[in-house]
Amino acid sequence: MKKNSTVIQEDPENTLGERLRLRRKELKLSMKEVAISSGLSIGFISQVERGLTSPSLTSLTAIANFLRSDVTNFLSQPKSKSSITRHQERDVYTINKNGLQYERLSDSFPGHTLNSVIIHEMPGHRSESISHEGEEFFFILEGAITIYIDGVVNILEAGDSLHFDSSRSHSAWNHTNKVTTVLHVCTMNVFGDQDTVKDIPGIFDCRGNLIFSKDHSMDLNIHSGNK
């Protein structure tokens, strides 16, 4: 293989090897213990931690498993920036006037994972059942709502919250005759990246609903400020 074999992340504070070492030390393990338990040699662990060699995915998985940490924790990209959203300055997106209104809270910074909106579900509105990557957290701010997860009914009221893996089939129904307000936070799925390329039709929220369309034929009613 003709590739340069330096470790994937060039930031000296955040290399794969450094993260592995940090984690190992947190757990007060020796390289010997890690090596034996992951079926690798002590010398190799040393080289990996010092960035002299890069483990195969199989070896990395074995190491990570013994360190009780998901592989992804050692590979995720460093992130920066923050954003603040004032309650009087939320962007409001309307999808079909009788159904949903969104107020986008979180903005994006490079590599961000969290995505959050305030959703106003109109009385009686039902969203289609979907599933996708990531996980979601609902916090009911006002009103009540029924959420189906894999067909199981969950009736939530103000102050209740629900946290689940988005790969489970889920949908929402405002079974009341008033608007329900939900704070919705989810981990970003691959469809929702801001740097969308090629023929992805637009930006989706974490529930798979199209928010922006690229060709503007489906542009939504968007405005900022007071709803």
Which 73-112 positions form the footprint of a copy of itself (CB under 8 A)? 73, 75-88, 105-107, 109, 111-112
CA distances (Å), 16 to each of 8, 45, 54, 57, 70, in order? 7, 12, 9, 12, 13
Catalog residues that contact DNA under the rule CB under 7 A: 1-5, 30-32, 35, 39-47, 49-50, 53-56, 58-59
107-136 positions binding a copy of itself, by CB under 8 A: 107, 109, 111-114, 116, 133, 135-136
CB of 30 or CB of 97, closer to a copy of itself:
30
CB of 24 or CB of 125, closer to a copy of itself:
24
Which residues are registered as beta bridge partners of 117? Answer: 104, 184
CB of 100 or CB of 182, closer to a copy of itself:
182
The CB density around residue 209, as the number of other CB atoms within 10 Å, is: 19
DSSP state, residue 174: -
Residue 8's binding partner, choosing from a copy of itself, DNA, none, with beta-carbon cut-off 5 to 8 A by kind?
A: a copy of itself
CA distances (Å), 57 to each of 5, 33, 52, 65, 197, in order? 14, 20, 16, 12, 28
Show the tokens assigned to 140.
């009911």
Show the tokens assigned to 101.
């209104």
Binding mask 163-202 for a copy of itself (x = CB under 8 A): xxx-xx--------------x-xxx-xxx-x-xxxxxx--
37-66 positions binding a copy of itself, by CB under 8 A: 54-61
Q: How far is the CB of 100 from a copy of itself (least distance, A)?
A: 19
Show the tokens assigned to 103.
């107020």
